[in-house]
Amino acid sequence: MKTAIKVRNVNKSINARKILKDINFDIYEGEIVGLVGPNGAGKSTLLKIMTGLYSYDSGEIYYYEYNLKNDFEKAMSIIGTLIETPDLYKNLSGKTNLKLFKSMFKGISDETIKEIVQIVEMEKFLGKKFKTYSLGMKERLGIANALISKPKILILDEPTNGLDPRGIKNILDMLKSMKDTTILISSHMLNEIEALCDKVIFINNGSIIDIKHNNIKSHKKDVVFEVDDFSKARLLLDNYCINEELEVYESDDIISSLNKELIRNNINVYRIYENKNNLEKEFFNMVNNDKSN
């Protein structure tokens, strides 16, 4: 699998304060990767560096074979961005805004704009001035702007900020449908990240704490057994448990056989439930660990 985004030893200081420390990660072609961290962790700074809005002190960023510093124009021609709230030119109409941004890329036809506008369902509102749009409409036009060059890579910072549940669902569905596009998305909405991403990068205090593959999109499941004889059950499932509880992370077949094993050993299984809040748990673990340190 090709590496679409390669970040190596990126450091950034602002006013002698280290904002990012030795950031390293790879994102492979077609992957959807979430960037998660508390406020002030450095997520937005990292995304702004990756989109050329901020300079960086050291390190390298590659989009496919293009180095962001040395081949800026080539690198940016394969990227679409939506950084925080989409503030396009408020005195221009949606259509003029898109035309203005379209003119900055080579070989993009009016048909492409039409296609993208259809995807984001903005056909009816393109003639209106941007300043008259609701937040949801602005967000959709922002996404249309990000997609205008049919980018191979999308970098999105809080793309669902301020949207209602329907708006969030529409945008998530749209992102899910973009099969060949590599997406790096930062969001505080852990549920969206969990539902959307193949991989999650945890960032705190300017450093990457962990990079995890998302369980929900995996064929394995994180389940918890509730039984009458905990210590006996713990001994039986010891090789499978992922923590001090009766919690396992396995495929359906293995979970079923573990259940049979418990019953065979005269342990009453009251409940087996899926733990769906992995990411939330990880997030709070990260924040709490940071506080205790």
Partner 1 sequence: MINLIKNEFIKIRLSKIIFSQILLIITLLCIKRYGNKSILELSYNLIPIVSIIICILFGGIISNEIENGSFRYYLTKPYKRWKIYLSKMITIIIYITINILIITIVSSILNHSFDYKYILKFFIYSVPCYFIGFLILYLSLCFKNHAFSVGISIFIVTFSLIISQVFFGFKFNIIEYTFLPYLDFSIFNDNSIDIMNKNLGTNLSLKKGIIIDVLSMFILYFLGNKKFIKKDIKC
C-alpha span between 288 and 293 (Å, rounded)? 9
Q: Does the footprint of partner 1 cover residue 55 (CB under 8 A)?
A: yes
Q: Does the footprint of partner 1 cover residue 132 (CB under 8 A)?
A: no
Q: Does the footprint of partner 1 cover residue 145 (CB under 8 A)?
A: yes
Q: Does the footprint of partner 1 cover residue 96 (CB under 8 A)?
A: yes
Range 21-50, binding partner 1 (CB under 8 A) = 48
Q: Does the footprint of partner 1 cover residue 85 (CB under 8 A)?
A: yes
Q: Does the footprint of partner 1 cover residue 16 (CB under 8 A)?
A: no
Residue choice 92, 108, 135, 269 for contact with partner 1 (CB under 8 A): 92
C-alpha span between 23 and 207 (Å, rounded)? 6
Residue choice 26, 60, 69, 105 for contact with partner 1 (CB under 8 A): 105
DSSP labels, 77-120: TTEEEEESS----TTSBHHHHHHHHHTTSSS--HHHHHHHHHHT
Q: Does the footprint of partner 1 cover residue 51 (CB under 8 A)?
A: yes
Shortest reach from residue 19's CB to partner 1, in Å: 10
- Give yes or no for a contact between 179 and 258, defined as CB atoms under 8 angstroms apart: no
Structure letter (DSSP) for residue 241: B
Shortest reach from residue 77's CB to partner 1, in Å: 4
Residue with tokens 């929900």: 216
Q: Does the footprint of partner 1 cover residue 160 (CB under 8 A)?
A: no
Q: Is 142 helix (H, G, I), strand (E, B) or coil?
A: helix
- Residue closer to partner 1 by CB (options 48, 199) is 48
Shortest reach from residue 76's CB to partner 1, in Å: 4
Half-sphere exposure of residue 124: CA atoms within 13 angstroms, side-chain side: 2
Structure letter (DSSP) for residue 11: E
Shortest reach from residue 117's CB to partner 1, in Å: 17
- Residue closer to partner 1 by CB (options 45, 215) is 45
C-alpha span between 285 and 273 (Å, rounded)? 21
Residue choice 5, 88, 117, 154 for contact with partner 1 (CB under 8 A): 88
C-alpha to C-alpha distances, 158 to 70, 79, 113, 218, nearest whole angstrom: 28, 17, 23, 24
Q: How many residues in total does the chain contain?
A: 293
Residue choice 20, 32, 41, 79 for contact with partner 1 (CB under 8 A): 79
Shortest reach from residue 206's CB to partner 1, in Å: 15
**Rounded to a whole number, what is the distance in angstroms from the first to the last CA of the chain?**
38
Could you tell me which of 264, 267, 277 has the C-alpha nearest to residue 226?
267
Q: Does the footprint of partner 1 cover residue 280 (CB under 8 A)?
A: no
Shortest reach from residue 87's CB to partner 1, in Å: 3
Name the site residues for partner 1 (rule: CB under 8 A). Answer: 14, 48, 51-55, 72-77, 79, 81, 83-92, 96, 100-101, 103-105, 142, 145
